[in-house]
A = this chain, B = another copy of it.
């Protein structure tokens, strides 16, 4: 046991970290990534050691703000430091790397330690790598899901049943939640929807709905709004649902891996934590989405349903066409505008109406509508204005302006039209290219970064016809996005000659 003087260092490491002087570390036999127990009076926390030669002097210990928060350490406080062993969960991570099946206890240890930020980035990455390399069986995934739920907050509704909807994403322009929630709620069912913000996309549902209302709701607000008016669209990240998920994503994101077991557990843990009893899943399938083949889509569907049964959620899945954006608009502001326009009964692309009412209809059927009649009922609710009325109510309850119309949504001061350089038919639409352009225009942070497609796959276009229009609230960002659009060429025109052999000009 050694005494140190606290020096506060504000740095948001993913883990509990303290910084020790190299000399002190040597004396205590500690090295980078060693673990110590740091104590101030009666409060203790386990932290991971990093070494510095000058940031802290000998006798000082640098406490990053997660650590100082836990032991309430102020600058100059006296802290005791004791070298400590690895948590048991690291042994279980190694077992998974060796291809072993993990017990319920082992999985709970791992998820608890991740939630408590007891694991270093190196250990966390090894966990994600192990699950990616060797997978998990249904029993392990069930235990993983339950552990993720139990290490976070949950909502207990007084009204039942609770309906929910989720899309596993990957297709741009997927603003369907802004139609599904008001349709389902207008039908008298309760749907407390939590959504994510964009990670690698142009805008998550939370980013889009934030254009119209506040999405940072507490669990109590989600509960009371849903119970009162039937529907809500909240940002899941503002509440502490299955918090290990965000910490696990910290390792998945830089590796660009989505371990299959982790995807299943991530989705259903958040749904279960918000009380879902009936869930309709949208699984977009297409070459530039997360799920690239029908076969993989069917596997997801089977496994989501099986896992749902294990944890008490009735899950139905729809494999949807993910080969190009849904509707015409991509980006928070233009998507919010398009969704509002659809609710107002104005012209919007058929793909958006069909997909939204199909999925809403599946929920209505779970809620008692006659089999095969759900979509029709959903369309009626959309067409006769009941969905728009419910949407205004939701916007109002979430602190937005319920009188807003689609024309009034600010979509950015600056725009630029991208035109076809050839006659022909639009062959492929590259989702990744579309997303890249919209992000270059500022989305999701700047709500007006966006793009509206004037043409989609299969459309005949003539030379100089507008293919799509880019929007931004900033001239420089618009310029960057236009440059990228010209480089990426996300709408390929078939019938365009790429090369001629031999080159007849020279013959």
Contacts and interface: CB of A to CB of B under 8 A. Distances in A.
Most chain B beta carbons < 10 A, residue from A19, A121, A123, A250: A121
Contact of A255 (B13, B14, B55, B90): B90
Contact of A132 (B52, B86, B97, B254): B97
Interface in A352-377: none
Interface stretch (A26-34, A303-311, A487-495): A26-34
Interface stretch (A4-12, A158-166, A325-333): A4-12
Interface string A251-285: 10111110000000000000000000000000000
Contacts of A125: 121-126, 129
A106 interface: no
A302 to B, nearest CB: 22
B120 A90 contact: no
Contact of A254 (B27, B86, B256): B86
Contacts of A134: 133
A9 B56 CA distance: 11
Contacts of A256: 86, 90, 94
Contacts of A29: 439, 445
A130 interface: yes
Interface in A421-440: 439
Given A32-B14, A126-B125, A255-B90, A133 B445 contact: no
Nearest to A22: B12
Contacts of A439: 29
A462 interface: no
A129 B123 contact: no
Interface in A24-55: 26-27, 29, 31-33, 50-55
Contacts of A33: 250, 253-254
Interface in A73-92: 86, 90
A382 interface: no
A93 interface: yes
Interface in A140-165: none
B254 A11 contact: no
Nearest to A119: B254
A132 B31 CA distance: 23
A99 interface: yes
Nearest to A14: B32
Contact of A129 (B50, B52, B126, B254): B126
Given A90-B256, A130-B133, A12 B53 contact: yes
Contacts of A120: 121, 254
A136 to B, nearest CB: 14
B27 A19 contact: no
Contacts of A51: 12
Nearest to A90: B255
A482 to B, nearest CB: 17
The 8 closest A-B pairs by CB, nearest first: A129-B129, A125-B125, A133-B133, A122-B125, A33-B254, A10-B54, A121-B121, A10-B55
25 contacts: A9-B55, A10-B55, A12-B32, A14-B32, A27-B445, A29-B445, A32-B250, A33-B254, A86-B256, A90-B254, A90-B256, A93-B255, A97-B257, A98-B132, A99-B133, A120-B254, A122-B125, A122-B254, A123-B254, A123-B255, A124-B125, A126-B128, A126-B129, A126-B251, A126-B257
